Chains A and B, each alone.
Chain A
């Protein structure tokens, strides 16, 4: 009986993290039709910036309680600087060209950022877990859990709702939707499409950095975190149907719970879980859970 509780809790924890790291990716794809490989690097930048800022913050003697705001600040800092930079300087040049070509560009960028990070932060591992420890523990079915991961769940839900609300309720959202529907027409009807793109990409970048920044306190931030995270984000986004936020949420839950189940019931399958889910989902639904095939007008 407890076992089920554990699977549920651990599953949700992992799912929250998965959702947080894939949200930005799926959003950017939804708007710009760009599969952003540099997403992982933005995540890494967020993680490094988050840990180093919190470190300075705490060394300066400020209370840990406020460090969460610092993490948020770090995410915004990265997102608002690197995001527009990448979009304006590089992506801008090859929109509307082949999807794969843009993907390739972001891959080259991610290669470079990997070393840029190394040059800025060095290779020494950052383990800044004060924000993680500060929230203390809570007992669930007789087992102690750190509270921090549940904060992560909260942030994931908040971020998801925020993005969803922005898309559904705000003018910017409606602009974005119109651009998704038809770039030409919305451009013709006076929408500043390039600007929408910049905003959208920046928002995606912030989300990526947010994932990194709030993951930082629970991991040792070392070179290579980008590579590890990007394929997970791809998988979750693909399962949900690229571009679909609710899809990413369901996908994350699916993978999260299945992985937790694997750990608790069949540890040998841990490695396989996510790709098995992905293969099965895509076999049953070729465009992901919430994806739609584009029908050609004739």
Chain B
């Protein structure tokens, strides 16, 4: 089993765990962590699967660099929103959505 394949498989598990975390966990900071695990999983699959013969491929590597920057941008925005929500309501979980 090649290095690339091992990490592609690891990535698949991380992705699934991350999505399960975002769906199941109510605490917002923890959800942000889960989202980041999900992103890391997708990145590992992208590079690992492309390099499953253990030959370096620069194209997916460049794509992952782009992806990491996008992920940190999204994380920072999510944190800003969580902090704002905490300032306004004192809560770290999403309130129920009501039409009133």
Bound together = no
Chain B interface (Cβ < 8 Å from any Cβ of A): none
Chain A interface (Cβ < 8 Å from any Cβ of B): none
